[in-house]
Structure 1
């Protein structure tokens, strides 16, 4: 259900959602396996992708149906999805979602938790749950307005519409369109690996500005110390 491969030499972990016959929909077991695969990563970059014709259709509908309308069990399932998205969000690795085919509902929400989202020309994006009385509850209502802005997030979520790669790029759901999204993960690995998580933390810092600026300066100082020889080499 979750396939993990590691290139230790290049310091990249590839995590593949591997239920192609179910469009990589996620069950409880799938979510728990994904959480472990992210949390255990020691590589500089994690590349999250899907096997087959979809990135992920989100929550497995049979799993949702098996909740039997029990609000407490439904809430527990939502909290599990939120936990996985938070693990992705807070990972020290840089997380790159390589999206081919549909990323829908919870699948889109897991992609939103990644630091970088890259789609193929055939990728598509949507929160269709509202059309049958549900909505994605794996942190999407928090992250979607941060990415799109409140107005665009409301229109996108309330309409239940699906957008193609070009519209997703225009809206800011993805940052690039590539035939092979993995190339973006490889590009990141060309940079200093210790600088990547520092820059991620500083950009994601939501504290008040003076505190952010102090942390930014301190982090810069530590990196200058760590890369003094590299800086000298540039000056030669």
Structure 2
């Protein structure tokens, strides 16, 4: 078997630990400690996050969306396929090295997705970006950490708490949608979204495109009002 090769490391802000970019043949993985955050062979649920959310964006518009977390770009590339040429896609990534990997060590994974004129990469905390973006976005796609309860970095709690969700609601235009990815179910998160004022749908999707394997969860939370 081909051994894993360490390509690069990056420190998470706030003593969040060290990210490691690994490669085995044509397969890539990003790990934090013993936890594998993402793998280039498993992209189905991240793509579904974008596909499901973008399908709920009102047609005939010039939509603007925010993607929280660049990762390996699965959500971004699915959004690019689903959105019209007039769309604007902001991608918030907390760790600068992840953006560097996308443009360098993982360039074969990302292809030309980052040179798309619709795309702007914002290095920073997605929560801080949402707090400055009142009624700016038609959709916000959050693929941060491993979901509301699968947290590997305690600072990410704020995104999924009631105040963070209220910030997301305020950043959406009327009729906009917040889509949240999670590696596992959370029986309290849907209720938290509803308390903030969202209309909520919970969908289970496959981690990969095949018929078997792990399943992940996506919440689609809509802001009331007409687009």
* Shorter-chain TM-score above 0.5: no
TM-score by length of 2: 0.30
TM-score by length of 1: 0.29
Task: Give the number of the structure whose alpha-carbon radius of gyration is greater.
Answer: 1
